[in-house]
Chains A and B, each alone.
Chain A
Amino acid sequence: NAGVTQTPKFQVLKTGQSMTLQCAQDMNHEYMSWYRQDPGMGLRLIHYSVGAGITDQGEVPNGYNVSRSTTEDFPLRLLSAAPSQTSVYFCASSSDRGGQETQYFGPGTRLLVL
């Protein structure tokens, strides 16, 4: 199993540009999430999905769109990049099987918006 994969690893954008951060998992997990990590603020939830075709907003959704057409993929779209979106982005997946099922994280995408 590859687990959770993210591409690209690093990206530089100019203000106003758009891009899509890719996330895929091969564990057949129902739940997928996107977080951003900023210094001193921990991980903040952007959007999440509880299954194909179902998405919802997290704590900081503005400026981002998501879709979930398949169980495996959960791309994050930046519509018009702003310097405030400079951050490290993590995708995660998990399964509602009860017990101690935890989130599995991708390696992260480091985004710099100039």
Chain B
Amino acid sequence: AQKITQTQPGMFVQEKEAVTLDCTYDTSDQSYGLFWYKQPSSGEMIFLIYQGSYDEQNATEGRYSLNFQKARKSANLVISASQLGDSAMYFCAMREPPFTSGTYKYIFGTGTRLKVLA
């Protein structure tokens, strides 16, 4: 069964430093998508970054980058130059491919709570 694992319940980082949030996944599919979402204290889910399983380069979006290591089945989120506004819950998610399962479901990890210190 497909599974997403986030082993860090909580992380601290000093403002302006970089931080890596870990995510490992388990799937037998060759085609899949990996996502990171941010959930601030206000509760909304904010899409951050996407990595396709066939993408050869690591995805980047501004201060966010995804360290994709396919053989190790890991998709770590790197936040550079942390800001106080980055304090939030971060979720890693994987999307099943619709053309193999006939479904279109996302599986989420349990999340990592990041606190940025001034």
Residues of A within 8 A of B (CB): 31, 33, 35, 40-45, 48, 50, 56, 58, 88, 90, 92, 94, 96, 99-100, 102-105, 107-108
Contacts and interface: CB of A to CB of B under 8 A. Distances in A.
B108 A43 contact: yes
Contact of A100 (B52, B103, B107): B52
Contact of A42 (B104, B105, B110): B110
A33 B43 contact: no
B91 interface: yes
A42 B90 CA distance: 10
A60 B93 CA distance: 17
Contact of A108 (B33, B44, B105, B106): B44
B25 interface: no
Interface of B: 4, 6, 9, 33, 35, 37, 43-45, 47, 50, 52, 91, 93, 98, 103-111
Given A48-B104, A100-B50, A102-B50, A43 B33 contact: no
Contacts of B106: 33, 43, 45, 92, 103
A41 B108 CA distance: 9
Contacts of B45: 90, 92, 105
17 contacts: A35-B108, A41-B110, A42-B6, A42-B108, A42-B109, A42-B111, A43-B93, A45-B105, A45-B106, A48-B103, A88-B43, A96-B98, A96-B104, A100-B52, A103-B47, A105-B44, A107-B43
Nearest to A88: B43
A50 B103 contact: yes
A27 to B, nearest CB: 14
Contacts of B109: 42
B104 A94 contact: yes
A50 B14 CA distance: 43
- Sort A-B residue pairs by CB-CB distance and give the 10 closest, nearest first: A100-B50, A105-B45, A43-B108, A42-B110, A42-B108, A102-B47, A31-B104, A108-B43, A96-B98, A42-B111
Given A40-B9, A56-B103, A96-B98, 14 more contacts: A31-B104, A33-B105, A35-B108, A41-B110, A42-B4, A43-B91, A44-B108, A58-B105, A100-B33, A100-B50, A103-B106, A104-B47, A108-B43, A108-B44
